[in-house]
Structure 1
């Protein structure tokens, strides 16, 4: 029989896996094989960038953790669509602007803020802001603003791939379409899992633990990124 303890163990395993992945990947990393291929083939390459965008989103644990937190208490498809659209608009805007305008920022700092977005959403789900401060941030504005940082995190890594501006805009659009496709597929899987979980008696009893684990994963991500930033400064 599957009980609350069994489900929470699965959640803990997911969080632990995300934490273990954070060290080698350092959030938003681009595989060396993908990087080598893109840099050795300048010009317009729609399919490779579509693939790279989809792959990045499906394997992007920081994105997925944030989306998990965003839809945690959303039951209507209309509300899910609204929040996911705000997130997509935010990360699409800064992805395109960051690369096209060649706007640089330290990727460790940006990724630390992305980790903060995961912590924020977990705390918001727990009602912490209302309890501690008597107010809470506008959730839609927060998702849009953090979407800007998620997109800029993508931009900081894609800038490393740019060896020629020939076909850059077309490649970026292809990458972004891939990201949205990957996001849709990942969201479908998350929604199926969440729907099944919500139908059990365990959901209400495990809300606090699940969001505490989510916040812990965000803190781990922040710690890795700030450690990377400190090591970079000392090098």
Structure 2
């Protein structure tokens, strides 16, 4: 079985290379699209939200789902979380911790109008991607001789991602009329968007994990993810200095 694993058929190697190429291409597009637009609030969405007041559950659910699905930083971190998770039970635990974290700070941050400088919090979110890539690479065990608590890290970085979401919602300048139900609807949309993104990631990962290229290129994939995190950190810190 080892011989068959290390020397796959030509067609299997071609399929493996194609999957890796698609993954790296998609990750690059996500990264460069994200840095180009800085994960900002779309002007059309912002203008619409500023014009309405009262309870609009469906609209805010849509905005929440859209924000998560197009949120390159959240998706990269989510990808890092489940990279080496195989059992649905474990995936559910970690994704739930992430959801609890970002839901808590998102709701509290907006409801009490408590925002953190968007450049700083987005740089921290970029750092969360770097951290998770290093964790996947086993860097902490090699460098420091111990493994940080991955569940605690997921929850803590979830809090940070939530403050990032809160900043974006505050940018919408939502009317106080119907604020709480609209926020809850937005959060429901975020979770739905997260489930959609997670489903897509799991489908792609499911195919990739069945090929020998997964273990051969897992290191490369996490290095690419880490590089994306560093680029996001640099981009946001540069924006903070310039601003």
Does TM-score exceed 0.5, indicating one fold?
yes
The correspondence of residues 45-60 of structure 1 with structure 2, limited to 5 A, is 45-60=56-71
How far off its partner does 1:12 sit? 2.3
* Match among 105, 113, 124 for residue 102 of structure 1: 113
SS at match of 2:172: coil
Distance 1:163 1:146 in 2: 26
Stretch of structure 1 that moved more, 6-15 or 195-204 = 6-15
Larger radius of gyration: 2
- Whether the aligned pair in 2 keeps the contact of 1:8 and 1:209 (CA below 8 Å) is no
Number of the residue aligned with 1:154: 165
**TM score, norm. by length of structure 1:** 0.95
Segments of structure 2 that go 5 or more residues without pairing to the other structure are: 1-10
- Whether the aligned pair in 1 keeps the contact of 2:50 and 2:172 (CA below 8 Å) is yes
* Match among 198, 213, 233 for residue 224 of structure 2: 213
Q: How many pairs are equivalent?
A: 231
1:21 aligns with 2:33: yes
SS at match of 1:160: helix
Q: What's the C-alpha RMSD, in Å, of the aligned pairs?
A: 1.2
Distance 2:106 2:205 in 1: 29
Distance 1:139 1:171 in 2: 32
Number of the residue aligned with 1:140: 151
Segments of structure 1 that go 5 or more residues without pairing to the other structure are: none
Distance 1:134 1:4 in 2: 34
Distance 1:103 1:164 in 2: 16
SS at match of 1:159: helix
Distance 1:172 1:224 in 2: 29
SS at match of 2:220: helix
- Whether the aligned pair in 1 keeps the contact of 2:121 and 2:163 (CA below 8 Å) is yes
Stretch of structure 1 that moved more, 79-88 or 12-21 = 12-21
